[in-house]
């Protein structure tokens, strides 16, 4: 059988798959999710990244914003034309953006707060573009290099997200973490803002399937630089660097059969971002005007409306117009205008030598001190002064903030009516390991495989726990359980390293023949072709808040060569296989299911890695332990013997040498894997206590044991034999 053979460089420009397969019943759940409103969609996208309904909702959002290009859409797209179009829009936007900097502080803060959801998620579309289905693509690596910079090179606190957050803090805009339930509320996000954010996050969930759109969005969003101007920060990616990636992608499309369609899709994405940014900047201007036009009464009404939900029982002894404030503020139909009309005539605002009872309460030493910020307190003082000045005060009438609502309504209607023609619903059929592997690699197109993947991972953890009692007998690992302390973990790692990996090494006195060496490489190759699959989803938007997340992202970045194709470990394994004349399709291709070079017996190991990597929220602890095991496994005797064998027959040793170096236990990935675990458990213990840290440690170690279960074939087989004898 003649199969299409994959050779580097990987010139892919878009996925060959054209449908998205979901389980029956998912449609109703996705519809309910989308009906919950723009803010609820945003929170669900961030906090549920592992379920079918969320992925289907993301597909529908993308379709609502980016329908397929119409027949006859332009495909002769040039870099110069795109740059000129983006530059023209950028020039137009600079006028209002610079004017925002001259606003009164409270108005500028309103603009910055409204923009924050978009500024803080900027770049999320690259979070999982690098994955088994797309590596070692030339364009994916180029984009990953820029993603690595935006993420702060894996250094905690150095990402663009964190730098923008600090800039907002300095400008008086203080917001909770982006995953917090009240983030959008504290940002006072208008529905249009939330909908824009929904699109960008949705795109980040299916980036391999929408590679042309990702390239277009990436260029246009960063080249416009709206958030850079608003915050006063330097651009995270210079426009010439962005343009170079755009040009490289367009060049690749001209060598691809799907090139015309890919270019049309890219151009549609660029123009969508231009429309979105024009729309949003215009809305920010309208919002500033709306706030500037608020009467003193209206400003006070906004303050009371904002704080009323948090008043709780604090006012149980206080009444206004005979009604307890606890009832007033807890009323779902709280009428703030009516309340202010009554409050103006209450005893709390009657003049006293120090002002009034209300102002006394919010001063230092009063029961409401620090409830209102400095600006709010100033507005309240002005309002009280106006009330006390007397005169014929008109009834409080409040304008309704409808800024951006017409545009939001149109986009909500589009989402409601979104029915992507490429979505199909089908139960997962009975599948063999090869089909399972193929679906896992292309999981964006086969979300109905997620439940099977989760159960597979759980089964692997259960299997591994047998080594909690017997793991000390492992040849290259020791998964026997021990009570955690940082010192105990470091000691275990040192013992494994010296006693099991380094000290047993002696140079080979006899080299296996050529065919034996090649066969052994074949047994290892499948796992290498999906390098770092277990960790590729850690550190993306919503998962980048702990120091351990940044450290794990840095490890993944190293495995991918930090964006340099020649250093990418998947490139290196392809070079090694090529030196042995092992020809294979790419793992993402359907043809890979028919390959006859790699033995079926080793699919389980690769499938386990893929399953684990799909659930970084559910199996975060297990991933940390698995990462430690796999980073250490290739050190010492085994790797050095493999290098000797490959060299003896003239085969490429770049892959083996890279791991022997980068995984070292002194400063490399093995050491970093230990640091990640210690960092994570330190946070857990400080935030949740010792018992919680113990529970998390057990899960971490079962992740280590689940790898050891695959690695220690002789030990596991002997344990099985012993169990059969007992039976």
Residue 672 is predicted with a pLDDT of 95
Does 155 lie in the same domain as 258?
yes
Nearest residue to 530 via CA among 602, 622, 422: 602
71 falls within a domain:
no
Q: 623: pLDDT confidence band, cut at 50, 70 and 90?
A: very high
Are 217 and 305 found together in one domain?
no
- Residue 334's CB is within 10 A of a number of other CB atoms, namely 15
Contact 634, 628 (CB under 8 A): no
Q: Would residue 183 count as lying in a domain?
A: yes
2 falls in which pLDDT band (50, 70, 90)? confident
Give the sign of the dihedral formed by CA 40, CA 45, CA 50, CA 54: positive
Cβ atoms within 10 A of the Cβ of 257, count? Answer: 10
d(CA 628, CA 587): 25
Which residues is 423 bridged to in the sheet?
A: 20
In the listed set 269, 293, 317, which residue is the last one of a domain according to the structure? Answer: 293
The predicted structure's pLDDT at residue 1: 56
Q: Residue 320 forms beta bridges with which residues? A: 323
Q: What is the CATH number of the domain that holds 262?
A: 1.20.910
Alpha-carbon distance 415 to 62, whole Å?
9
Q: For residue 425, list its beta bridge partners.
A: 22
Q: What pLDDT was estimated at residue 724?
A: 59
**Residue 636 confidence (pLDDT):** 87
Question: 545 lies in a domain?
Answer: yes
**DSSP character for 393?**
P
Instruction: Please name every residue paired with 323 in a beta bridge, in sequence order, or none if there are none.
Output: 320
322 and 276 share a domain?
no
Both tokens of 547, joined, read 């120091």
Residues of the chain with pLDDT > 70, as a percent, come to 98
235 — phi, psi (to 5°)? -60, 130
In this structure, the answer to whether residues 88 and 225 fall within a common structural domain is yes
Whether a cis peptide bond, with omega within 30° of 0, leads into 136 is: yes
Q: Are residues 288 and 310 in the same domain?
A: no
Q: Taking Cα atoms as reference points, which of 270, 209, 210 lies closest to residue 74?
A: 270
Closest to 423 (Cα-Cα) out of 610, 246, 230, 206: 206
> Which residue in 708, 202, 220, 659 sits closest to 469, CA to CA?
708
Q: Are 372 and 380 in contact (CB under 8 A)?
A: yes
Q: How far apart are CA 225 and CA 688, in angstroms?
A: 40
Confidence of residue 85 (pLDDT cuts 50, 70, 90): very high
Please tell me whether residues 300 and 283 are part of one structural domain. no
Structural domains in the chain (count): 3
> Domain range spanning residue 328?
296-388
Separation of alpha carbons 399 and 403, rounded Å: 11
Q: Encoding tokens for residue 380?
A: 């309240």
Evaluate if residue 316 carries a pLDDT over 90: no
> Is a pLDDT exceeding 50 seen at residue 434?
yes
Residues 106 and 145 in one domain: yes
Mean pLDDT of the residues in the chain: 95
Residues in the chain, overall count: 727
Query: Is the pLDDT reported for residue 240 higher than 70?
Result: yes
Q: Which two tokens stand for residue 101?
A: 């900097």
24 assigned to some structural domain: no
Determine the Cα–Cα distance for residues 215 and 207; give it in Å rounded to an integer: 10
Q: Is residue 647 in some structural domain?
A: yes
Residue 599 CB contacts under 8 Å (≥ 6 apart), including other chains? 522, 523
> What residue spans of 465-499 are helical by DSSP H?
467-470, 486-495
Whether 69 shows a pLDDT value over 80: the answer reads no
pLDDT above 50: residue 582: yes
Q: What are 48's two structure tokens?
A: 């549920």
Whether residue 340 has pLDDT greater than 50: yes
Q: Which tops the pLDDT comparison, 664 or 461?
A: 461
Question: What's the count of helices (H) and strands (E) in the chain, helices before strands?
Answer: 33, 4
609 and 497 in a common domain: yes
Same domain, 270 and 305: no
What does the pLDDT look like over 503-538, one tens digit per residue? 999 999 999 999 999 999 999 999 999 999 999 999
Give me the pLDDT at residue 75, please: 66
Write down which residue in 293, 314, 331 finishes a domain: 293
| Beta bridge mates, 148 | none
Confidence (pLDDT) at 71: 72
Question: Which range among 35-39, 75-79, 161-165 shows the weakest confidence by mean pLDDT?
Answer: 75-79
Any domain includes 360: yes
218 shares its domain with 288:
yes
Per DSSP, the three-state class of 509 is coil
- Give the domain-ending residue among 293, 314, 333: 293
Give the pTM: 0.95
Kindly report the backbone phi and psi dihedral angles of residue 567, in degrees, each rounded to the nearest multiple of 5, phi listed first: -100, -5
pLDDT digits 0-9 by tens, 531-580:
999 999 998 898 878 889 999 999 999 999 999 999 999 999 999 999 99
Maximum Cα interatomic distance, the chain, rounded to a whole number of Å: 104
Half-sphere exposure of 345 (CA within 13 A, CB side): 12
pLDDT in tens, 252-299: 999 999 999 999 999 999 999 999 999 999 999 999 999 999 999 999
Annotate 537-578 with three-state secondary structure: CCCCCCCCCCHHHHHHHHHHHHHCHHHCHHHCHHHHHHHHHH
Does residue 73 register a pLDDT over 70? no
For the cut 70, the answer to whether the pLDDT of residue 725 exceeds it is no
Determine the pLDDT at residue 663: 84
CB 190 within 8 A of CB 408: yes
Encoded tokens for 607? 């499938």
494-508, 541-555, 634-648: the lowest-pLDDT one: 541-555
Q: How confident is the model at residue 410 (pLDDT cuts 50, 70, 90)?
A: very high
Whether residue 552 is contained in a domain is answered as yes
224 & 325 share domain: no
Among 8-12, 335-339, 603-607, name the one with the lowest average pLDDT: 335-339
What is the rounded average pLDDT of the residues 673-688? 97
| Residues 279 and 338 reside in one and the same domain | no
- For the cut 90, the answer to whether the pLDDT of residue 394 exceeds it is no
3-state helix, strand, coil in the chain (%, to 5): 65, 0, 35
CB neighbourhood size of 417 (10 A) = 10
Confidence of residue 392 (pLDDT cuts 50, 70, 90): confident
* Residues contacting residue 720 through CB under 8 Å, at least 6 positions apart: none
Inside any domain, residue 566: yes
Of the pLDDT bands very low, low, confident and very high (cuts 50, 70, 90), residue 311 is confident
């Amino acid at each position: 059988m003649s199969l299409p053979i994959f050779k580097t460089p990987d010139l892919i420009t878009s996925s060959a798959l054209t449908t998205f397969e979901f389980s029956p019943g998912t449609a109703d759940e996705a519809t309910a999710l989308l009906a919950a409103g723009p803010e609820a969609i945003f929170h669900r996208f961030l906090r549920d990244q592992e379920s079918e309904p969320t992925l289907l909702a993301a597909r529908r959002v993308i379709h609502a914003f980016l329908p397929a290009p119409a027949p006859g859409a332009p495909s002769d797209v040039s870099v110069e034309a795109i740059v000129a179009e983006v530059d023209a829009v950028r020039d137009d936007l600079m006028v209002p953006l610079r004017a925002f900097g001259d606003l009164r502080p409270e108005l500028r803060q309103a603009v910055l707060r409204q923009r924050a959801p978009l500024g803080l998620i900027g770049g999320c579309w690259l979070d999982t573009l690098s994955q088994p289905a797309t590596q070692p693509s030339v364009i994916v690596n180029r984009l990953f290099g820029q993603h690595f910079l935006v993420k702060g090179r894996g250094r905690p606190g150095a990402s663009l997200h964190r730098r923008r957050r600090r800039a907002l803090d300095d400008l008086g805009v203080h917001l909770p973490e982006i995953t917090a339930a009240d983030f959008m509320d504290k940002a006072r996000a208008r529905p249009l803002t939330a909908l824009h954010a929904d699109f960008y996050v949705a795109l980040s969930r299916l980036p391999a399937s929408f590679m042309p759109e990702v390239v277009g969005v990436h260029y246009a969003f960063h080249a416009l630089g709206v958030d850079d101007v608003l915050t006063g920060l330097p651009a995270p990616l210079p426009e010439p660097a962005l343009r170079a990636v755009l040009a490289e992608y367009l060049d690749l499309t001209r060598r691809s059969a799907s090139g015309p369609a890919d270019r049309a899709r890219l151009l549609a994405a660029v123009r969508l971002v231009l429309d979105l940014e024009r729309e949003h900047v215009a809305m920010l201007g309208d919002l500033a005007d709306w706030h500037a036009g608020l009467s003193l009464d209206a400003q006070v009404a906004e303050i009371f409306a904002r704080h009323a939900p948090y008043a709780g029982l604090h006012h149980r002894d206080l009444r206004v117009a005979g009604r307890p404030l606890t009832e007033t503020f807890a009323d779902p139909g709280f009428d703030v205008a009516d309340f202010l009309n009554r409050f103006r005539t209450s005893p709390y605002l009657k003049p006293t030598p120090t002002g009034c009872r209300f102002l006394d309460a919010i001063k230092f030493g009063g029961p409401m001190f620090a409830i209102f910020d400095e600006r709010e307190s100033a507005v309240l003082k002005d309002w009280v002064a106006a009330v006390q000045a007397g005169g014929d005060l008109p009834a409080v009438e409040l304008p309704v903030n409808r800024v951006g609502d017409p545009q939001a309504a149109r986009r909500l209607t589009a989402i409601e009516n979104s029915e992507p023609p490429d979505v199909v619903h089908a139960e997962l059929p009975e599948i063999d390991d090869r089909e399972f592997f193929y679906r896992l690699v292309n999981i964006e197109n086969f979300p109905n495989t997620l439940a099977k993947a989760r159960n597979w991972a759980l089964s692997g953890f259960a299997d591994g726990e047998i080594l909690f009692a017997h793991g000390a007998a492992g040849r290259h690992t020791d998964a026997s359980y021990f009570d955690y302390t940082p010192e105990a973990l470091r000691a275990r790692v040192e013992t494994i390293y010296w006693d099991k990996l380094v000290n047993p090494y002696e140079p080979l006195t006899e080299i296996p023949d050529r065919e034996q060496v090649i066969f052994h490489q074949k047994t290892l190759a499948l796992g290498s072709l999906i390098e770092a699959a277990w960790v590729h989803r850690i550190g993306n938007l919503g998962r980048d808040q702990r120091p351990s997340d940044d450290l794990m992202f840095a490890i993944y970045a190293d495995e991918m060569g930090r964006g340099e194709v020649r250093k990418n470990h998947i490139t290196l394994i392809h070079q090694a296989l090529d030196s042995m004349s092992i020809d294979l399709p790419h793992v993402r291709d359907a043809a890979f299911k028919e390959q006859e070079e790699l033995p079926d017996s080793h699919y389980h190991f690769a499938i386990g890695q893929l399953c684990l990597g799909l659930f970084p929220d559910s199996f975060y602890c297990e991933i940390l332990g698995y990462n430690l095991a796999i980073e250490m496994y290739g050190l010492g005797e085994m790797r050095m013997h493999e290098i000797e064998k490959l060299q003896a027959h003239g085969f490429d040793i770049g892959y083996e040498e890279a791991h022997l170096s980068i995984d070292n236990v002194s400063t490399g990935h093995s050491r970093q894997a230990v640091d990640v675990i210690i960092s994570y458990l330190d946070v857990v213990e400080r935030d949740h206590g010792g018992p919680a840290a113990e529970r998390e440690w057990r899960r971490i170690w079962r992740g280590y044991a689940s790898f050891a279960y695959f690695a220690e074939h002789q030990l596991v087989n002997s344990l099985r034999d012993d169990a059969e004898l007992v039976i």
